[in-house]
Structure 1
Amino acid sequence: MAGRMVCAIALGIPVLADLAYLVLSGAPLAYGAGNGLSLAIALAAIAFLRVRLSDRQCRILAVLLLLSLYVPLLTGPHVNGIARWLALGPVALHAGALALPALVVLAARDDDYAPPILLAALLAASLQPDAATGLAVMLAAVGLYNATRDWRLVPVAGIAFLASVIAGLRGELPAQPFVERVLVELALQQPLAALGLGASLIAAFLLFAHALPAEMRVRHALAGSLFGFSLAAIVSNYPSVLIGYGAAPIIGYGLALALADHTPSG
């Protein structure tokens, strides 16, 4: 119970801060409602999802998550040659933010296949192209290396950095209000509000890295992925995960936290 509570707090702090930001900033009502519903789904997964997977089942799940990253390339929607979204009826979910967090947890617990899993995710991000997912892969690899000292993760991080730079040059779209570059835009208008919203994201990062009921390798890799997504939203026009409008990262990290708490490492 205590472990699930920590996971819920780690996710809830930035998302609740985001809900306050959306309401006070005059965002469309649907934005707050969508994020609120996504948080409810994520918290339900953390509270009630009981996952007991063997190593083989974990790898099968990793393959399925990897395939989901490639689906947008086949199905669209395509915007200026960019395909990063899973279309579910009227809703389009950012594939990387939805699938990568759980994928990072599975990779962190797979001593043999962690580098190939991360590289396969990076390839999808490069093809979409999606620099945010690329940076999330890079810093997940850095976090995992910090915990394991597995030298194979060093070239993964280096390749991910180069791929992210290239993807950033190829795949930038105009920023959407309340979705992308939230901290940058808010800092120009309300610096104190931006400071508070940023502090909530830092709190989540620290809880991910140090307080989750999971092995250090999982904590550091998951925190690294959050850092990567957040960095992309500061330096370019990418979604501000957990502190901007978007269901995919809230649900994605909710599922990842459920896996981190419940999935055995052996």
Structure 2
Amino acid sequence: MKAIRFLAAIQAVACLGVSLMAIAAAGAGRNALLMQTLAAVVALGLAVVVTRFWRKAGWRYWLLVAACALALVWTLMSGVTLEGARRWLALGPVQLHTASLALPVAAWAFARGFEDRRVAPLAAALSFALLYQHDAASSLAWALALGAATLVRRPRQMVPWAVVVVAAVFAYAAWTEPDTLPAVPYVEGLIRAGFEASPVTGALVAILMFSLPAPFLLVAFSRSERRAEALALAALWTGWIAGNLFGNYPAPVLGYGAGPVLAWGLSLGLVLAEPSKEDEPGP
């Protein structure tokens, strides 16, 4: 696990450096560069705190999924609206993408809480909230995360499989809706903007963005007792990457925006956390 943490740290430093270079080339101003750097520093602190203390808290998984679903519902009720999409909560001058922070926790809790029958219906409710946020990228990411966790767990009951089907249907419905939000070059179209600046910048952005699921895959194949949650998080980030490639959605971690950067630190903390009494050694 120490080797994976070291590789993830190198990856995070590379992502920050390339992100600052790419968003500056795409037209981001000095304030955006400062905010991106600050978000990276906070994400590092978040990763360290979660790594040290998360698994020792004795969470009730259904409460975690319920809290994440309520956060999305609260965003629908009182969040910031742009072109019909309501995905952000305003915290002073910063607008945080709620799903970025909610979905890693919800995916982790869903993968860990299969024995609790309350988790599955709450996961379906979360899928419904994502549909009404007009967030096709997050809907796809959530459906992939649920599918990955369920494939690993292979439950005999049909309820978790039904939740995966519901999430997939909602993701399809989200993608068939027209997206009216205009693309911002240093947020959504970063790979294209990077290649327009220089082939090297574009290639670095693409390579690092496609490498984001790597730490979770490494954990999945080295720690069998964490395979379900690690693959769920890998699938979640794969969905966000696909959302950027096929729609006007942020380039995760590399594009400008505090939410995805914080979500990256949170996700790494969840999967690389120190073991607790609940963790059983793999065979």
**Taking structure 1 as the reference length, what is the TM-score of the superposition?**
0.87
Summarize the Cα distance change of 1:129–1:54 in structure 2 as closer, same or farther, 3 Å threshold: same
The answer to whether the 8 Å contact 1:108/1:114 transfers is: no
The partner residue of 2:188 within 174, 180, 183 is: 180
Matching of residue 165 in structure 1 with residue 168 in structure 2: no
Which residue in the other structure is 2:120 paired with?
A: 115
The answer to whether the 8 Å contact 2:104/2:233 transfers is: yes
Which residue in the other structure is 1:41 paired with?
A: 42
Summarize the Cα distance change of 1:159–1:59 in structure 2 as closer, same or farther, 3 Å threshold: closer
Q: Percent identity?
A: 28
The answer to whether the 8 Å contact 2:110/2:146 transfers is: no
Distance in 1, Cα, partners of 2:198 & 2:151: 36
Which residue in the other structure is 1:195 paired with?
A: 203
Extract unaligned runs of 5+ from structure 2.
none
Which residue in the other structure is 1:132 paired with?
A: 137
Alignment of 1:1-266 (within 5 A): 2=2, 4-49=5-50, 50-51=53-54, 52-56=56-60, 58-111=61-114, 112=116, 113-150=118-155, 152-168=159-175, 169-187=177-195, 190-211=198-219, 215-260=226-271, 261-262=273-274, 264=276, 265=278
- What's the CA shift for 1:229? 0.9
- What's the CA shift for 1:204? 2.2
Distance in 2, Cα, partners of 1:132 & 1:142: 15
Distance in 2, Cα, partners of 1:241 & 1:102: 17
Distance in 2, Cα, partners of 1:38 & 1:162: 33
Distance in 1, Cα, partners of 2:144 & 2:14: 22
Summarize the Cα distance change of 1:89–1:6 in structure 2 as closer, same or farther, 3 Å threshold: same
**CA RMSD, 1 decimal:** 2.6
Summarize the Cα distance change of 1:172–1:137 in structure 2 as closer, same or farther, 3 Å threshold: farther
Distance in 2, Cα, partners of 1:182 & 1:39: 18
Q: How many residues align?
A: 265
- What's the CA shift for 1:11? 4.0
The answer to whether the 8 Å contact 1:69/1:124 transfers is: yes
Give a deviation string over 1:202-250, Cα, whole Å, max 9, x none: 2221222123777111111001000111111111111111110010011
Extract unaligned runs of 5+ from structure 1.
none
Summarize the Cα distance change of 1:224–1:114 in structure 2 as closer, same or farther, 3 Å threshold: farther
The answer to whether the 8 Å contact 2:26/2:190 transfers is: no
- What's the CA shift for 1:152? 4.5
- What's the CA shift for 1:164? 2.2
Distance in 2, Cα, partners of 1:27 & 1:208: 30
Summarize the Cα distance change of 1:238–1:172 in structure 2 as closer, same or farther, 3 Å threshold: farther
Distance in 1, Cα, partners of 2:160 & 2:121: 10
- What's the CA shift for 1:115? 3.1
Give a deviation string over 1:167-196, Cα, whole Å, max 9, x none: 231444111221113224434564442222
SS at match of 1:78: strand
**Taking structure 2 as the reference length, what is the TM-score of the superposition?**
0.82
- What's the CA shift for 1:114? 4.7
Larger radius of gyration: 2
Distance in 1, Cα, partners of 2:160 & 2:202: 34
Summarize the Cα distance change of 1:158–1:34 in structure 2 as closer, same or farther, 3 Å threshold: same
The answer to whether the 8 Å contact 2:25/2:197 transfers is: no
